[in-house]
Structure formats: C-alpha cells, structure tokens
Amino acid sequence: MTAISRPAGGAPPGAAPGEISSPSGIARVFEYRLLGYRRTYRSSIFNSFVGPALFLAAMGVGLGTYVDASATAALGGVSYLAFLAPGLLAATAMQSASFEATFPIMGGLVWNRVYHAMYATPIRPKDIALGNLAWIAFRVLLISCVFVLVTALFGAAASPLIVLAIPAAVLTGMAFAGPIAAFSATQRTVEKFNAVFRFGITPLFLFSGTFFPVESLPTFLQVVAWFTPLYHGVALCRGLALGTAAEEPLLMLAHTAILVAFAAVGAWATVRMFERKLVRG
Amino acid sequence: MPDTPESQDSPLIHARGLTKRYAGFTAVDHVDFDVAQGESFGFLGPNGAGKTTTMRLIGCVSPVTEGTLTVVGLDPERDGSRIRAQLGVVPQRDTLDEELTTRENLVIYGRYFGLPRSEAARRADELLEFAQLSERGDDRVEPLSGGMKRRLTIARSLINDPRLLLLDEPTTGLDPQARHLVWDRLYRLKQRGVTLVLTTHYMDEAEQLCDRLVVMDKAKIVAEGSPRDLIERYSTREVTELRFPEGVQDTLDGQLDGIGERIERLPDRVLVYTEDGDAAAAAVHARGLQPETVLVRRSSLEDVFLRLTGRSLIE
C-alpha cells in the first residue's frame, strides 16, 4: 500500500499519523533548522573560531600588554586577557543570538514562509516559536564551546572554571534572543534590524563591561548598564570564569535571575507574536 | 475508518453560516457547504471573493468568527492539530525551502507529521516519482521551474497520505504546458479517490477538475452545482461573440434586440446568449450589421459568473 494509492473509504495503512505533542513539535522544528545548518556548518564553525581568535589577539594580547603594564588592580588582579575573555564570551553570545533571532525568523515568516508551511501540519505556532528559540540556544552553545576552546589555546583561561561560563553565556544569548525574536516576528521588512544592531547591540557590546569595568563609566551610565542584559551576562560569565562568583553569591543570583526574566518574557512574547503572525496569514 | 468518530457517509467538511470577520471587513459571510468523501469540490470566484480565507478556515490555521465548521468530523477550534494531521495543503504561494533539495523538503515535511525518518524517506521517493521529479531529487529547489516547484508542493502535501487535499489556486502563474502537467497529476489523485477542495479563478480548471463547485463573490456563495448544472441553469447552450470596429459598439443601441435570449455588453465585445450560435450570427448579418469578428462557442463558467455578478472572473 503506497502513500498515494489509498482507495476512497479504504482502511489506512496503519493508523493515520495524528496530533503530535508539543515537545515533539519543538523537536521537529529544531530538526528542520539543523537540516539547513548542515549546509553551512563548516564555514559557520570556522567563523566562530576566527572571530574570537582575532579579538583575543588584538585586544587581549596587543592592548593587554599595555593594560597589564600599568594597572591590573582594577581588573581584580588577573591579566587583561583573562579579564577580557569571559566578557567577550558573553558579548559574542549576545551577537550570535541576536543575529539568529532576526534574519532567520523573518526568513521563515515572510520570505520563504516555511513556518506557514509548518503550521499546515499538526505543529502549532507555539512549537514553531519555541523550536526556533531552542535552535538559537543550541547555536550559542556551540559558539560558546568553540570560544572557550580558543580562550584556552590563548592561555587566557584563568582557571578550568571557565567552562562554567558556557551555560551562563547561553543564558545571556537567550536573554537577547527572546525579545528580539518577538520583535522580528512583527516585522515585514529588515529595515529596523539595522537599528537594532547599530543602536542596541553595538553600544551594549562596547559599554557593558566587556572591555573595561563599568565602574569606569559615569554613574548614570552605570545605572543604565544595570537595566541591560549584557551587563549581567558579562558579570556572571566573568564571576564564574575567574572564580569570584563564590565571594558574591547573591549578586550572581541576581544577575542570573535578571537574565532568566529577560529570556522568559522574551520567549513568551515570541510565542504570542508567532501565533499572531501565523494566524493572520 | 476506525480512527475517526464520524460515520462513512457524513461529509468531510460541513459548514453552516460560516463567517470570518477581520477588523472592519467581512471576508467570508455566512456561507453553507458540504464536501463529501471522494468528491472534487471547487470555489470559483475573482480575487478578493473570500476563497483563500475559506481555505484557511478549513485548514484550521485561522479561527472561525461565527457559524459552524467541522472538518473530518472534528471541530477546528478544539482539534486543529488533529485535523491538520489529516489534511494536505497546497498554498497559493509555494512555501518550499529553496536551499534544501527536493527530497529534503519532502522528508522534513513528513517529519512534521511525526513519520519515522525511514518511512518519510520511502514516501518521498514515491512522491518524487508521482510528481515526475525523480531525476531532480538531489537538486536544490531554487533553480527548478515554477511548474516543478508547484508539483513539488503538491507532492509535499501528500506526504501524510491526507484524507482531504486543499489546493489554493494550484496553477495560477504557470504557463499552459505546466498547468496541464499539474492538472494531469491532480486528475490522477481524483481518480484514486482523494478528496480535492480547490479554489480557482480559471473556469477551465474548475471544469476540468471539479465535480461540484460554488461560485463566490464578495464573501458570499452566489450559486452551487456541477459545472454542467450551472451552465444549464445560468446560461444558454452557445454564445456568439461579436467584435465591432472601434466606436461602432456604442452606436448599436437597440439594433441587436431580439437576437438570442440575452445580450451582454462588455467593454470590448458583445455576447449573444443563444441556443444556436450560427443562427444568431446569421441574424446579425441579416440586419446589415458588420462585426469585425464573429466567434461561436459553447457556454462556460465564465458566462455563468458574468450572469451572476455582472463582472468577469479575471479583471
């Protein structure tokens, strides 16, 4: 009995495939993204290797030589390279997650409309939204692992504790991916994506403690930093990587809680926006 | 069918007073229809008549505002996911992943229905053959022709062995040869007993594929029947099309009266509805009128639509 030769009214070959559970739907969406990724993974992994290597070489080793020669006390007594690496890890997680939460989301909803095609199957809009977020988390995880490997190769890992910064980096990425994916799902063109990166991601990258402690900023900017997820991501990754987290557990918990809140509210909003967009057609 | 609650003779789709309103406008306005198992059912109408919205309601991707709708015996509001598991959908615009190969597009789609990978792959090969795309199985979709992409979309809609196939304008935008290839495939499905529901604004498509159709205009159903029924009910057997030299048509008033049963004036030609087209043409000449061209043809659904709405299907 073939898929297309069933006579009218005849018994189906085995049970007809029915409704599928939400976790299973999410897994299928993830599988779709993985299928697309297989086409580009070599260059993608290469890129996630080269990016941090260049930054660590230029900023960490080059600039770091001067920083280390003058005042390392402000950095907590570690080399500039060791200070920079976890901050850059969090910032890289933010950038990758933000990118993944813009163009690919618009691609599936507006350009080739494959998410509309998914919605014509038992898969629900909620599953499509969460499957994409799960995929972004996986991408950030991969990128973070490569980053930590590069850091170790540079001799910039202050201690093996740096591996603890990997989940913190994924959480940082998701604190951005959630809200940005929700925003992307409301857009019909890429016009506003540039603004997101130019006025959101880039300033955060520069002023959230990645390259220097936020304490060197004017007080009002320090206050602003507290309200942005990257500041908390950098602080958490750095605290874990340098082993200082144990000295201020409550502060670390606060950083984590804030990141979780951003990620959770963002995921909820992404689900709502996908539902709205897909139901509207 | 042991897995479905409805009995064998209850309709696959049942709609009463089906209505869809968006903020400020009504896309579908109290329509009633039933589609039986194994039937080919069409929605014929111009753009904006509400055909696509109706298809989205049946496809359980857009909630019903008012009225009753059951699909495969289930309620879309409660069982959307379960219903969609039994449908095949060919959307108006292709929604393929053009970076993937044709086979990958089919296999991953099977996965969305929960098929095991091996079963999805087996069905994909079968469907590639059905869609006459076997040689292109490992090619990316992007460079394929429009007709090939359309056939791939149809193949994809069959991956779950659907009880009901929804086709929204299956051949719009294809050249005549590609259209005939698609029609041929759809005709085969129909012969195999697959229930087809399609929208179209091509009367020849409706005549070729539909056992029964409804004519939609401005969110409402204005007529229902088989293509032959509708033509018999709303038109004459033949039509004589008269084209006059520029400017002459406007000066004709009254001169054609009494020829044929009914006369319809279009901007570029005059249609004479009659049982005997040649006799009508002779009568026109007998009155000393000299049309540039005279075409006698059989009545079509286009004429039905013109009669019902006063407008052409394709404007």
Reported ipTM: the value is: 0.91
Subunit contact B114:A17, Cβ cutoff 8 A: yes
Subunit contact A16:B86, Cβ cutoff 8 A: yes
Q: In chain A, which residues have their Cβ closer than 8 Å to the Cβ of B99?
A: 36, 39
Q: Chain B 195-214, CB below 8 Å of chain A: which residues?
A: 195
Amino acid identity for residue B195 in this structure: T
- Per DSSP bridges, beta strands B87-90 and B164-168 are parallel
Q: Strands of B13-22's sheet, edge to edge? A: B25-35, B13-22, B66-71
Distance from CA of B84 to the nearest CA of A (A): 5
Distance from CA of B51 to the nearest CA of A (A): 14
A111: DSSP letter: I
Subunit contact A35:B100, Cβ cutoff 8 A: yes
Cβ of residue A116 closer than 8 Å to a chain B Cβ: yes
Q: What is the pLDDT of residue A15?
A: 44
Backbone angles phi and psi of B168, in degrees to 5: -100, 105
Distance from CA of A33 to the nearest CA of B (A): 10
> For a pLDDT cut of 90, what percent of chain B falls above it?
83
> CB–CB of B261/B236 below 8 Å?
yes
pTM of the full structure = 0.92
Q: In chain B, which residues have their Cβ closer than 8 Å to the Cβ of A119?
A: 61
Does A11 have pLDDT greater than 50?
no
Q: How far is CA B138 from CA B107, B128, B158, B160, B195, in A?
A: 12, 11, 19, 21, 30
pLDDT tens for each residue of A253-263: 999 999 999 99
Q: Closest chain B residue to A127 measured between Cα atoms?
A: B112
Q: What is the pLDDT of residue B284?
A: 94
Cβ of residue A14 closer than 8 Å to a chain B Cβ: no
Q: How confident is the model at residue B267 (pLDDT cuts 50, 70, 90)?
A: confident
> A77 or B62: which carries more pLDDT confidence?
B62
A99 sits in which H/E element: helix A80-100
> For a pLDDT cut of 70, what percent of chain A falls above it?
93
Q: In chain A, which residues have their Cβ closer than 8 Å to the Cβ of B8?
A: 9
Q: Chain A 35-64, CB below 8 Å of chain B: which residues?
A: 35-36, 39
- For residues A280 and B20, what is the distance between their CA atoms, to the nearest angstrom? 12
Does B82 have pLDDT greater than 80?
yes
Cβ of residue B59 closer than 8 Å to a chain A Cβ: yes
pLDDT tens for each residue of A201-242: 999 999 999 999 998 899 999 999 999 999 999 999 999 999
Q: What is the pLDDT of residue A158?
A: 84
pLDDT tens for each residue of A24-70: 999 999 999 999 999 888 888 888 889 888 989 998 888 888 888 87
Distance from CA of B204 to the nearest CA of A (A): 25
Q: CA B136, B137, B139, B143 torsion: positive or negative? A: positive
Q: In chain B, which residues have their Cβ closer than 8 Å to the Cβ of A126?
A: none
Q: Considering chain B, what is the average pLDDT of its residues? A: 93
- For residues B232 and B242, what is the distance between their CA atoms, to the nearest angstrom? 22
Q: Three-class SS of residue A113?
A: coil
Measured between CB atoms, which of B2, B115, B158 is closest to A17?
Answer: B115
pLDDT tens for each residue of A64-85: 888 888 766 778 888 999 999 9
Distance from CA of B32 to the nearest CA of A (A): 23
Cβ of residue A117 closer than 8 Å to a chain B Cβ: yes
Q: What is the pLDDT of residue A5?
A: 43
Interface test with A, best of B9, B79, B81 (most A CBs within 10 A): B81
Q: What is the pLDDT of residue B74?
A: 96
pLDDT tens for each residue of A95-126: 999 999 999 999 999 999 999 999 999 999 99
Subunit contact A3:B84, Cβ cutoff 8 A: no
Interface test with A, best of B52, B97, B112 (most A CBs within 10 A): B112
Rg (CA), chain B: 23
> For a pLDDT cut of 70, what percent of chain B falls above it?
96
* Burial tier of B23 (Cβ tally within 10 Å: 0-12, 13-18, 19+): exposed
- Please state the rounded mean pLDDT for residues B214-242: 95
Q: What is the pLDDT of residue B213?
A: 95
Q: What is the pLDDT of residue A17?
A: 52
Q: In chain B, which residues have their Cβ closer than 8 Å to the Cβ of A2?
A: 126
Subunit contact A122:B81, Cβ cutoff 8 A: yes
Q: What is the pLDDT of residue B2?
A: 43
First to last CA, chain A: 35
Does B66 have pLDDT greater than 90?
yes
Measured between CB atoms, which of B3, B130, B158 is closest to A16?
Answer: B3
Q: Chain B 272-301, CB below 8 Å of chain A: which residues?
A: none
Subunit contact A24:B112, Cβ cutoff 8 A: no
pLDDT tens for each residue of B116-135: 999 999 999 999 999 999 99
pLDDT tens for each residue of A133-147: 999 999 999 999 999
Cβ of residue B144 closer than 8 Å to a chain A Cβ: no
**How are the residues of chain A apportioned to helix, strand and coil, as percentages rounded to the nearest 5?**
75, 0, 25
**Which residues share a beta bridge with B290?**
none
Cβ of residue A23 closer than 8 Å to a chain B Cβ: no
Does A9 have pLDDT greater than 60?
no
Does B155 have pLDDT greater than 70?
yes
Q: Which position has the token pair 């977020």?
A: A133
- A-B C-beta contacts closer than 8 Å: 134
**Which residues share a beta bridge with B14?**
B34, B70
Other CB atoms within 10 Å distance of the CB of residue B283: 18
> CB–CB of B55/B199 below 8 Å?
yes
Distance from CA of A188 to the nearest CA of B (A): 16
Cβ of residue B3 closer than 8 Å to a chain A Cβ: yes
Q: Which domains does chain B have, with CATH numbers?
A: 13-226 (3.40.50.300), 236-298 (3.30.70)
Q: How confident is the model at residue A12 (pLDDT cuts 50, 70, 90)?
A: very low
**Which residues share a beta bridge with A213?**
none
Q: What is the pLDDT of residue A10?
A: 34
Mapping DSSP onto H, E and C, the string for chain B reads CCCCCCCCCCCCEEEEEEEEEECCEEEEEEEEEEECCCCEEEEECCCCCCHHHHHHHHCCCCCCCEEEEEECCECHHHHHHHHHCCEEEECCCCCCCCCCEHHHHHHHHHHHCCCCHHHHHHHHHHHHHHCCCHHHCCCECCCCCHHHHHHHHHHHHCCCCCCEEEEECCCCCCCHHHHHHHHHHHHHHHHCCCEEEEEECCHHHHHHHCCEEEEEECCEEEEEECHHHHHHHHCCCEEEEEECCCCCHHHCCCCCCCCCCEEEECCCCEEEEECCHHHHHHHHHHCCCCCCEEEEEECCHHHHHHHHHCCCCCC
